[in-house]
Structure 1
Amino acid sequence: MSVAPKYSARYAARGTAWIWLAVATLALICTHGNWIIALAGWLYPFCLLRFTRSQHPLLGFLVTALLLTASGLLLLIFSAIPFSVPFVLVIFVSSCFLALPFLLDRLLTQKWSSWVSTLLFPLGYVAVSYLKGLADPLGSLGSLAYTQYGDLPLLQLLSMTGISGILFIMTWFASLGNWIIEQDWAWPKIRRGVMLYMTILALIFVGGYARLLFSSQPATVRVASLGTSAPLYARAAQGQKQALKDLNARRATPAELAALRSGSTLLLNDLLARTHHEAQAGAKIVLWPECGILLLQADEQTFLGRLATAAHQDSLYLDIGVCILNDQYLPNMLDQSILFNPQGQISWRFEKAHPVPGLDSVVAGNGVVPVVSTPYGRLSTVICFDEDFPALLQQAGRSQAAILLAPSNDWQEIDPWHTNAITFRAIEEGFSLVRETNNGLSVAIDPAGRTLASVDYFHTDPQSMVALVPTQGTETLYARVGDAFAWLCCLVWLALGAGAIVTRRKRLTTKPNPEPGTA
């Protein structure tokens, strides 16, 4: 029995399947942490499809799920996030979910020679990635789309589709490339699919270049972003570590609480002095990092009073990151962003909506993102890990925020790739992003994703950044319609999958029985 020419490449691939898997594994490693290579983000799904399409469906699914699980664990290692049984289980379940598009591609595209079959995998990948992100405690962290950081023309697509559009065009390349090989590179067969993909890709890049060219913002405001002084932080931490440890065990002594107060006062005095200096230099907005100050609940009013006075005297908007500790028990800590206006009044008091699982001992806030009108545009805020949840930031985009102030606190193992990924939010929602990051990369980004200023905490002293930030945002389709493209992918994927199943069943039921004596 002869093999149809259009499947010859698929069967021939069985001889090199494990080589393709090895290349896919290497490429997948280069999509995480500070090992990120943009090209690897395109190669990994292409090579993994070469493997799964040549294997038994169940084997391909299991290998893919295990590979993605190992990749997720590797991300934890790169990020220095402690392992725990719940974390490993979440990663395994998420990996099985992400392996589904590879399984359904293997099951449903075998007998489908049209270029339309190339849409099944990218639609499925986008649908599954989006649905996983809604339930995943890590949000969009580790998304394949983040490998394309720095490709600004391509990333302008974020303003229409969010990261789902980037994922779609990358994974469509994977399925299209496999389809071309399986059609034996026959141009008459592949012409329509290739030309369609290349036309769409060209439109994305031309549109991206045009958006960058015509997105100037003449009106700006001087924004200063201040990290805690590394030498002072080290001094303050000496007296605070034991107090925090004992607060966690409900046994902090008065002497330890006094040491904590002393360290907080040391950092507060330094930040206030630097804030005054920046105000004298013309800053109208000043941002401090997440948990830049640790406050005992009993001292809250005294400290906040000093901050209100400073904002009033310097006539500026002062957004501070502060962690407020119950004097008796650490897990009751509140992680807040508090904005003081030039009149010394509090304009917002936002609590971190998404504490980092396993790392943040804080009370989660209600997730209502504030937006305040000012002479320098509409200001908004979230805190650090909140930025990994695009759906949360849509509140700021829909309220037409011009500048998002994001007090943050990373650690060296996720510097700078975590901040790099966060910059996607500015393009999606059309606001400028000012992210002040203790122990990481601080940036000011305009609505097109261009870097206005940046400072790395580990390579700069003092840890200060100044930028002229646009006072108007840019209206984006994504801010208006949200994840409509992702939901469309979900619906079309289901429709194509159902159509492929129905077509396959019809072929099986209408297949003529062989004549007696024939094979």
Structure 2
Amino acid sequence: MCTGISCCTGRAASAWTKRSFASLFTVPFGGCCMAWSRKLRAFALFSAVVLTAAGYFVSSGLEPVWWLVWVAPLPLLLVAPVVRGWEALGAAWIARSAAMLVFWQYWRGIMLPLWLSVAMVALAGACFALAVMAYRSFAVKGYAWLAALAFPVVSVAEEYLLSLWQGTFGNTGYTQLKNLPVLQLAAISGLWGIGFAVTLFGAVVAAVVHAAPRQRARLGIAFAAFYVCVFSFGELRLHKTPDALHSVVVGLVESHAGADMFPRDARSMMDLLQRYAGQAQVLADRGAQIVVLPEMTGLVVDPGMTNGLLKDQLLSPAADGVFEEAARRAHVQILLGVEHATERGSFNEGRLYSAAGTIETVYRKHHLVPVLEGRTSPGDGISVLSQPAGEIGIEICRDMDYPELARRYGHRQVGLILAPAWDQGVDALWHGHMSLMRAVEDGFTLVRDAKVGFLTASDDRGRILAEESAVGGNALHTMLVSVPVRHDATVYQAWGDWFAWVDLAGVMVLGWVGLREWGIGNRE
């Protein structure tokens, strides 16, 4: 006589499976999942798909609910070992693909190509389905420990490989930005360790439910100890934050109403820049030492480029003149974001003017937004300024989605990153707060000034020091905040994506074990 799972797989199940939770599903219906009526299997799969899709839809959107993503995969992981393989595969793909539609309106709003939006939905579903099948492949053979590990290991490895193509936007780790104790894992393993801890939870619960009684206790105790260590480390790190020897007062200014979004001619551009320059004086009078303006306040062009489509644009030296004078008069540093058209191409720049009225550095954005910045060329350098308070660096908006650039600043012992940005309103909190992960990973304070977003200052633990919305309204938005300038060396800064590489190795090991067991099963 076969058990439910053995009938589904066509092979004899282990003693673990015979006494498992799966039997509670199958025994009342004749002891075999194949004996389930079509309606019953359809109901079980439909319920799992709806619950998992709803869980991911709510927990992984632009306003995620951090605790819900921990349990979102659980319904499908519970059902997967007691239904046919192709049913589990299809259900997992449908559930995760459906949940990814939470981003659809956002993608269309930023003008991502339709084919790319569809591909991202389908790819997310495929990756989740693969992770669920990895769990199932070990669960049906009775390997509770490997089943529990397979789902998070495969999930993290997939997210890492995808990040090499499209950045880390949408990574599971970002759902935990409000879960500060777990967020501290980023200082050791980057966001990959956070993703592992989150996806492990549902897999462990499912494995404990499916496991034989003698294995449940050991499995539960082991992983409970793991989470005790995770939360204890996080709480300790939050309460043992070293005091900063130096701090600076930073002022932030933002205006995006109407024509201010991106001025189309020289007169409008000059008017906006002069208003920004005036606010720099106001903030300096209130104590600001650095004033940060948003990304791409407008377009400036080099002399000799004022022909054709660029004939009505503001000259770059004219913009420099405004802020050199403003910085000198207010005796304050000013960071201005502009698009700069040159004979060698167009660049998204951050220009820092010194309190003496000179340009200290020009930083060029590395990671450009597809379509929206199609006419812009990427930069390749970093800007580090040695100040009396400490080392200060510059990044621009989407650069903060990529861990490797922040690590370069970490290696230079940078204690404060200034980040002009441009969000889309609807993603103001989500995309704006993604940058907090970089601050925790590489041990620096972050000040981010986002057009159509938030003015935000955070410390190297991911705590918000000050924040003000700049979404909506017609007035200039300003914020003044004193921030620490202190670099805290981290394991992640030194070792980089080591945890992701461990997961990739884990996938290969799991694959080898799976193939070996499959071969043994076939010979038997």
Distance 1:391 1:65 in 2: 31
Paired residues of 1:403 and 1:434 also in contact (CA < 8 A): yes
| Residue identity in the other structure for 2:241 | S
Cα offset, 1:313, TM superposition: 3.5
Distance 1:475 1:101, change over 3 A: same
Trace 1:31-180 onto structure 2 (pairs within 5 A).
31-78=59-106, 80-82=109-111, 84-91=113-120, 92-136=122-166, 139-180=167-208
Cα offset, 1:459, TM superposition: 5.8
Distance 1:5 1:83 in 2: 50
| Residue identity in the other structure for 2:483 | V
In the other structure, the counterpart of 1:264 is: 269
Number of positions where the alignment pairs a residue of Structure 1 with one of Structure 2: 481
Distance 2:26 2:272 in 1: 66
Distance 1:75 1:5 in 2: 42
Distance 1:202 1:146, change over 3 A: same
Cα offset, 1:430, TM superposition: 0.7
Q: Which has the higher mean CA deviation after the structures are superposed, 143-152 or 77-86?
A: 77-86
Q: Which has the higher mean CA deviation after the structures are superposed, 271-280 or 35-44?
A: 35-44
Deviations 1:464-498 (A, max 9, x none): 11111111121111111111011011102211321
TM-score (norm 2): 0.85
In the other structure, the counterpart of 1:433 is: 446
Calculate the aligned-residue CA RMSD, in Å: 2.4
Paired residues of 1:350 and 1:365 also in contact (CA < 8 A): no
Distance 2:478 2:302 in 1: 28
Cα offset, 1:52, TM superposition: 3.3
Paired residues of 1:339 and 1:347 also in contact (CA < 8 A): yes
Cα offset, 1:192, TM superposition: 1.8
Cα offset, 1:94, TM superposition: 4.8
Alignment partner of 1:279 is 2:279? no
Q: Which has the higher mean CA deviation after the structures are superposed, 340-349 or 425-434?
A: 340-349
Cα offset, 1:276, TM superposition: 1.3
TM-score (norm 1): 0.86
Trace 1:246-325 onto structure 2 (pairs within 5 A).
260-298=265-303, 299-325=315-341
Instruction: List alignment gaps of at least 5 residues for structure 2.
Output: 4-17, 28-32, 34-40, 304-314
Deviations 1:297-349 (A, max 9, x none): 3310121133223323333322111112469xxx9542111122233333322
Distance 1:168 1:337 in 2: 35
Distance 2:164 2:425 in 1: 27
Paired residues of 1:322 and 1:335 also in contact (CA < 8 A): yes
Distance 2:223 2:354 in 1: 50
Distance 1:502 1:9, change over 3 A: farther
In the other structure, the counterpart of 2:462 is: 449
Trace 1:193-204 onto structure 2 (pairs within 5 A).
193-204=219-230
Cα offset, 1:11, TM superposition: 5.1
Trace 1:371-450 onto structure 2 (pairs within 5 A).
371-450=384-463
Q: Secondary structure at the match of 1:423?
A: helix
Alignment partner of 1:353 is 2:366? yes
Distance 1:68 1:189 in 2: 30
Distance 1:55 1:121 in 2: 17
Paired residues of 2:352 and 2:361 also in contact (CA < 8 A): yes
1:8 pairs with one of 5, 23, 43: 23
Deviations 1:123-176 (A, max 9, x none): 11111111111112xx11112222222111111111111111111111111111
In the other structure, the counterpart of 2:253 is: 226
Q: Secondary structure at the match of 2:67?
A: helix
Cα offset, 1:10, TM superposition: 6.9
Paired residues of 1:383 and 1:408 also in contact (CA < 8 A): yes
Alignment partner of 1:499 is 2:513? yes
Distance 1:55 1:391, change over 3 A: farther
| Residue identity in the other structure for 1:225 | L
Q: Secondary structure at the match of 1:406?
A: strand
Cα offset, 1:227, TM superposition: 0.9
Distance 1:237 1:497 in 2: 51
| Residue identity in the other structure for 2:78 | R
Q: Secondary structure at the match of 2:357?
A: coil
Q: Secondary structure at the match of 1:37?
A: coil
| Residue identity in the other structure for 1:117 | A
Q: Secondary structure at the match of 2:147?
A: helix
Q: Secondary structure at the match of 2:336?
A: strand
Paired residues of 1:18 and 1:51 also in contact (CA < 8 A): no
In the other structure, the counterpart of 1:206 is: 232
In the other structure, the counterpart of 2:479 is: 465
Q: Which has the higher mean CA deviation after the structures are superposed, 26-35 or 171-180?
A: 26-35
Distance 1:289 1:75 in 2: 25
Paired residues of 1:97 and 1:132 also in contact (CA < 8 A): no
| Residue identity in the other structure for 1:234 | G
